[in-house]
Amino acid sequence: MRFIRKTLVILLAFVAMVLVVAWFIPADFNIQASIDVNQPITETKTEFSDPESWKEWTNWNINDSVKSEETTLAFIPVPGMGDAGFSGKLYQFKPFEVVSEENWTFEVGETGCKINWKSTGTLSYPIGRLFGLFFSDTRRLEMESRLDSLRNYLESSIDVPPIPIDEPATLQPE
């Protein structure tokens, strides 16, 4: 009986400690990433704002507000930014639910267009906050990966003028 009582006390102390630690972890997150794309702003915004093109560079379910066993991420575009950019809400269902506000803005960059991505939201208590210890780094890596895929997609759609047949290609010595 003593062993069970000690085990319960230790277990309750551990749970209490986890809850106290989670209480002090910030609930809000604000993560930003950006990338330069070798494409004009108008073309970038046009291709980006087409939900059909999103399946080429992300695994998010677009306009999917229904949570299912297969759905882990769903993005719902939200009007309101106008010419300034594009915004929406990203719903993450696994391993726990997170709702974040996603905002993309477009500006002149070094090579054409600079895409800025900002993700803000709140993590739930206590599990979300505990996961928050790793969430920012994980989310930033995901954002950088998605932006890299987006750049590859956008730059692959650039029309490269063909080399004329009557002018043979020459190799330049290194």
What pLDDT, on a 0 to 100 scale, did the predictor assign at position 49? 77
Instruction: Calculate mean pLDDT across residues 28-34.
Output: 90
Distance (Å, whole) CA 119 – CA 143:
9
Residue 15 dihedral angles phi and psi, to the nearest 5°:
-60, -45
What residues form DSSP beta bridges with 91? 74, 99
pLDDT digits (tens, 9 = 90+) for 69-125: 555 667 777 766 666 677 878 877 666 677 888 888 888 888 888 999 999 988 888
145: left (phi over 0), alpha (psi -120 to 50) or beta: alpha
Show the domains of the chain with their CATH numbers. Answer: 27-60+79-87+101-156 (3.30.530.20)
Confidence class of residue 163 from pLDDT cuts 50, 70 and 90? very low
pLDDT at 10: 94
Query: Residue 18 corresponds to which tokens in the numbers above?
Result: 């986890």
The contacts of residue 137 (CB under 8 Å, 6+ apart) are none
C-alpha triplet 63, 158, 171: angle, nearest 5°: 145
Helix, strand, coil shares, percent, the chain, to 5: 40, 25, 35
Residue 162 has pLDDT above 60, yes or no: no
The beta strands (E) that lie in 17-112 are given as 28-37, 61-62, 73-78, 85-92, 98-108
96's tokens:
């726990």
pLDDT at 128: 81
Has this prediction a pTM greater than 0.75?
no
Mean of per-residue pLDDT scores for the chain:
78
Answer whether the bond into residue 126 is a cis peptide, omega within 30°.
yes
